[in-house]
Amino acid sequence: MAAVAAGALVLAACGGDDDGDADAATTGAPTAEPTAEPTGAPSAEPTGDTDLSSLEGSIFVSGSSTVEPISIAAGNAFADMAPGVAVTVEGPGTGDGFAKFCNGETDISDASRPIKGSEVEACEANGIEFVELAVAVDGLSVITSVENEAIGCLSFVDLYALLGMEATGFGNWSDATANADEFAAAAPDLGAVHTPYPDLDLTVTAPGEESGTFDTFVELVVAEVGEAVGADDPNVRPDYTASPNDNVIIEGISANPGSLGWVGFAFVEENLDVVKPVQVDGGAGCVEPTPETIASGEFPISRLLYIYVSTNALDENPALAPFVDFYVNEAITTMVGAEEGQVPYVALDGDAIAATQQVWAARETGTRDGGG
């Protein structure tokens, strides 16, 4: 994962999707109190000898609701040190966040996936340049209701049979049994199917197409099986309840015993009383999503989480660079993890953190490392 993180970090010379809650949380005087409950460790001390107490201004962060809790925690802690800086964080989704970012409307874009080529082009068209920084690791947790005792593990093939385009119209788990057995023969390396499925109403609640969590699930799971079975359109069935709000997804999953969906790991860890994470088999056996299996890459639906910082805004907003300094040198090292009070994602390891910090420190060189 450290190698992935180091390779994915990009210092981009120009412009180079996710579940979300459109409500913004704002920290710091003189604005209103946060509308989201802040998550994170107690405030860290400022780095270096910088005096932040007299700093004034505002910072606007938008994008992935998966990354939103990390940015809220960082914003709350930074506001304690720089009370004159208002940090507003919202989570409408990775795609919607990039649309605002590339239009010059935000200082930072939270993202649960790397920026797409079309989004890079949108940034370029508007003269928006940026730095890409990995901040944590997340596992996409496949979830069902805690009342669903019939399902404990699902393979990539199972998930495709239940959630792929060919499952459109299926209202019962058992409806997908025949397709799953057929797909298993065409995709033997993507996990054994757990058929026959139970005679249980199937209700799907999951992120919508504006979400980086949706994109990642399609890329890592649906497209893999779809290609193996020769699907014309390897995508998620359209007849499900889609929401950009992770909490709405959790509510939908908890309300129906035969529910199925997926969401970021942190939201599952905070709701284990109402939803059940399902073990996932990507071809190497059933693996439970845990901080350890996600960090090691053993859990087959793992991904990096990012922030994108506008270098245009850095030139215009004196509060932005100190905030990002704090974010990459303090927040991602102390506020992300499995300890009480931390944002419950998987922290980057030492090498990956050093890579993020190196990219941020080198932002003014104008060099470019990799794609974007």
Q: Rounded mean pLDDT of the chain? A: 86
pLDDT of residue 281: 98
pLDDT of residue 14: 34
In the predicted structure, residue 274 carries a pLDDT above the cut 60: yes
pLDDT of residue 227: 94
In the predicted structure, residue 286 carries a pLDDT above the cut 70: yes
Which pLDDT tens digit goes with each residue over 1-35? 433 343 333 333 333 345 444 445 655 433 222 33
d(CA 176, CA 168): 10
Residue range 185-196: average pLDDT? Answer: 96
- DSSP per position, 104-121: T--SEEEESSPPPHHHHH
Give the pLDDT band (50/70/90) at residue 364. low
pLDDT of residue 8: 35
Q: Are 347 and 336 in contact (CB under 8 A)?
A: yes
| % of the chain beyond a pLDDT of 70 | 84
Residue range 330-343: average pLDDT? Answer: 92
- Token pair in block for residue 133: 């920084």
pLDDT of residue 50: 63
- DSSP per position, 251-306: HHHHT-TTEEEEEEHHHHHTTTTTEEEPEEESSS-EE---HHHHHHT-SSSEEEEE
pLDDT of residue 32: 28
What CATH superfamily is the domain 140-302?
A: Periplasmic binding protein-like II (3.40.190.10)
CATH topology of domain 2-137+304-365: D-Maltodextrin-Binding Protein; domain 2 (3.40.190)
Residue range 209-216: average pLDDT? Answer: 90
Q: For the whole prediction, is pTM greater than 0.85?
A: no
Which pLDDT tens digit goes with each residue over 97-154? 999 999 999 999 999 999 999 999 999 999 999 999 999 999 999 999 999 999 999 9
Which has more pLDDT, 369 or 289? 289
For β-strands 85-90 and 24-27, DSSP reports them as: antiparallel
d(CA 197, CA 177): 6
pLDDT of residue 19: 43
Which pLDDT tens digit goes with each residue over 76-85? 999 999 999 9
Alpha helix stretches (DSSP H) within the chain: 2-8, 68-81, 94-102, 117-125, 156-163, 177-186, 212-217, 223-229, 246-254, 265-269, 291-296, 311-316, 320-326, 332-334, 350-361
Residue range 171-190: average pLDDT? Answer: 97
For β-strands 279-281 and 153-155, DSSP reports them as: parallel
Residues of the chain with CATH 3.40.190.10: 2-137+304-365, 140-302
- Token pair in block for residue 118: 């079309």
pLDDT of residue 24: 58
| % of the chain beyond a pLDDT of 90 | 74
Which SS3 state, helix, strand or coil, does residue 188 take?
Answer: helix
Give the pLDDT band (50/70/90) at residue 67. very high
